[in-house]
């Protein structure tokens, strides 16, 4: 890029936490990497971002906080929550997915309560719901779906004994229950998934704020170096958890139900 180039660029680094994690691990193994590779790379990123847009896309909101004694980049990072559909945007999205049916506002509300607007999970959930409608011999002609419909569907399909049977959620079987690498490669994500799994096993999917440190300690080993408040804060920023002064809940109820069923080992 020449000094006379007036164009502006957008550079998106997807799954950025993988890069920063590898840099941190390499510096631990070889201290020369810090000054020979890591810090020059950070300075280049910072220089690029002065006149262009550099986007770190990923779940872990604080993965760039490494080598903080000399890191010139992290103090300039502006953090936004992981995007999910909401409001009228979610209503329009859901109507496109379920274009053959009329959707009552109460139905849209119930679906949003379950998926928090996560597009992939919403689509997979609607696939299961359509199969249920077929089993129930519901005609698509003049079909209007309400909160009562979703409640009946959820009672049969989203309970602890049935949610793990749906092929639409096989991705989670392979990603969190059949591999032993998640804890090693993505300990922050593993810790959040473990917390979600435990919340998903609670009848109300909730834990009191006062009891959360005990829940956290029961599923996340101390040697990982995380504490309950850190996971609560960063998990909330990543739209995995939600909390106030009295309770902690999953941001995405469906995700907690799935993890609670398939398990996160």
Catalogue all structural domains in the chain, each as residue range(s) with its CATH number.
Answer: 10-76 (no CATH), 87-157 (1.10.8), 170-262 (1.10.10)
Asked if 81 contacts 238 with a C-beta cutoff of 8 angstroms, the reply is yes
Which regions of the chain are under pLDDT 70?
1-5, 81-83, 173-180
* Site of tokens 């199969």: 131
Q: So what's the pLDDT on residue 210? A: 96
Q: So what's the pLDDT on residue 4? A: 64
Q: So what's the pLDDT on residue 137? A: 92
Give the torsion sign (CA, 59, 160, 146, 249).
negative
Strand bridging mode 144-145 / 102-103: parallel
Per residue in 219-261, pLDDT (tens digit) is: 999 998 899 999 999 999 888 999 999 999 999 999 999 898 8
Burial 169-181 (b: 16+ CB within 10 A, else e): beebeeebbeeee
Asked if 57 contacts 15 with a C-beta cutoff of 8 angstroms, the reply is yes
* Site of tokens 């004994």: 161
Cα–Cα distance for residue pair 214/197, rounded to 1 Å: 15
Widest Cα–Cα separation across the chain: 68
Cα–Cα distance for residue pair 44/37, rounded to 1 Å: 11
Torsion of CA 94, 99, 100, 106, to 10 degrees: 30
Q: So what's the pLDDT on residue 5? A: 66
Cα–Cα distance for residue pair 187/160, rounded to 1 Å: 26
What 3-state DSSP class applies to 232? helix
Cα–Cα distance for residue pair 71/17, rounded to 1 Å: 15
Those residues whose C-beta lies under 8 Å from the C-beta of residue 31, and which sit 6 or more positions away, are: none
Burial of 228 (0-12, 13-18, 19+ CB in 10 A): middle
Q: Which two tokens stand for residue 55?
A: 């986007």
The CA-CA-CA angle for residues 134, 137, 141, to 5°, reads 90
Angle between the N-to-C axes of helices 187-200 and 212-219, in degrees from 0 to 180, rounded to the nearest 10: 120
């Amino acid at each position: 890029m020449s000094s006379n180039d007036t164009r502006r660029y957008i550079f998106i680094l997807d799954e950025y936490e993988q890069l920063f994690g590898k840099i941190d691990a390499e510096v631990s193994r070889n201290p020369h990497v810090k000054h020979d590779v890591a810090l020059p790379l950070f300075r280049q990123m910072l220089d690029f971002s002065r006149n262009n847009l550099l986007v770190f896309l990923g779940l872990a909101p604080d993965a760039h906080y490494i080598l903080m004694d000399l890191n010139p980049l992290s103090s300039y990072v502006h953090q936004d929550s992981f995007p999910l559909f909401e409001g009228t945007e979610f209503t329009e999205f859901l109507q496109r997915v379920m274009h053959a049916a009329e959707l009552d506002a109460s139905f849209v509300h119930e679906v949003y309560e379950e998926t928090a607007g996560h597009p992939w999970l919403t689509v997979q959930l609607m696939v299961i719901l359509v199969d249920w409608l077929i089993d129930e011999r519901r005609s698509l002609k003049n079909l209007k779906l309400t909160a009562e419909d979703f409640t009946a569907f959820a009672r049969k399909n989203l309970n602890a004994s049935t949610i793990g049977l749906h092929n639409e959620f096989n991705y989670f079987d392979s990603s969190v229950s059949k591999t032993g690498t998640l804890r090693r490669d993505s300990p922050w994500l593993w810790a959040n998934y473990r917390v979600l799994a435990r919340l998903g096993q609670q009848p109300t999917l909730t834990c009191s704020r006062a009891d959360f440190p005990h829940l956290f300690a029961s599923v996340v080993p101390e040697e990982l170096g995380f504490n309950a408040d850190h996971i609560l804060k960063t998990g909330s920023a990543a739209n995995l958890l939600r909390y106030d002064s009295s309770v902690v809940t999953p941001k995405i109820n469906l995700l907690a139900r799935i993890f609670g069923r398939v398990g996160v080992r």
